[in-house]
A and B are shown apart, each in its own frame.
Chain A
């Protein structure tokens, strides 16, 4: 099956700092999503981004499908950004494979 690697595994940021999270995948995919799992365990859709670039407020994402990676940018981080960020890719039959996540802690 498809392998998904996320980096870094852990990240501590000062409030206001910017960061880039990376997701590499081992094979061509039909789609890719970024999720934020907040400290209460809820999964929040951030981006559905099989290719190209999207922006939503302080967050943006870029997927380069031909090179099998995606990047999630967080600018001017806030404490509410804390949690785990997952990259999930879809191969055949819509089976979703999740990376192990990047655990982000934003400190005031």
Chain B
């Protein structure tokens, strides 16, 4: 049973470009979470999604960031017009059930904005 997959593992963008990060949850998992980790810091919750629904986006910046989890395909975290402060590791996690349940993390995408 494959774990949570994220790609790309490393992404370099210039200021003003768009970044698209993809996450495929574990088989059988229908809940996806995105987190951001700045250097030397813990992980900060960004958004919680189920298939075709955003459940909680209270951790998402109001501008330039969006997330989706379509009926088919991976979850996408999209960052428009990236700035240097967006440089971070972005982790995706998945869980199988609603309610308190164990989350499993992917390897992360390291975004570097030049």
Contact code string A80-108 (vs B, CB < 8 Å = 1, else 0):
00000010101001111111110000000
The answer to whether A33 and B102 have CB atoms under 8 Å apart is yes
A95 to B91, CA, bound (A): 14
The contact of B102 among A48, A93, A101, by CB within 8 Å, is A48
Report which of B33, B100, B102, B105 forms a contact with A43, defined as CB distance below 8 A: B105
Distance (Å) between the CB of B5 and the closest chain A CB?
13
Interface size class of B (residues with CB under 8 A): 20 to 34
What sequence of 0s and 1s flags, for each residue 23-40 of chain B, a beta carbon within 8 Å of any chain A beta carbon? 000000001010100000
Chain A, interface size category, equals 20 to 34
Write out, one digit per residue, whether chain A residues 48-77 have a CB within 8 A of any chain B CB (1) or not (0): 101000000000000000000000000000
Complex: A94 Cα to B103 Cα, angstroms: 10
Question: A50 touching B100 by the CB < 8 A rule?
Answer: yes
Q: Are B56 and A31 in contact (CB under 8 A)?
A: no
Contacting pair A95 B42 (CB below 8 A): no
Residues of B within 8 A of A41 (CB): 89, 107-108, 110
Q: In the bound complex, what is the Cα–Cα distance between A96 and B93 (angstroms)?
A: 10
Are A33 and B55 touching (Cβ within 8 A)? no
B101/A101 in contact, CB under 8 A: no
Residues 45-85 of B contacting A (Cβ, < 8 Å): 45, 48, 55-56, 58-59
When distances are taken between beta carbons in the complex, the residues of chain B under 8 Å from A90 are 100
- List residues of chain A with CB under 8 Å of any chain B CB: 30-31, 33, 35, 41-43, 45, 48, 50, 86, 88, 90, 93-101
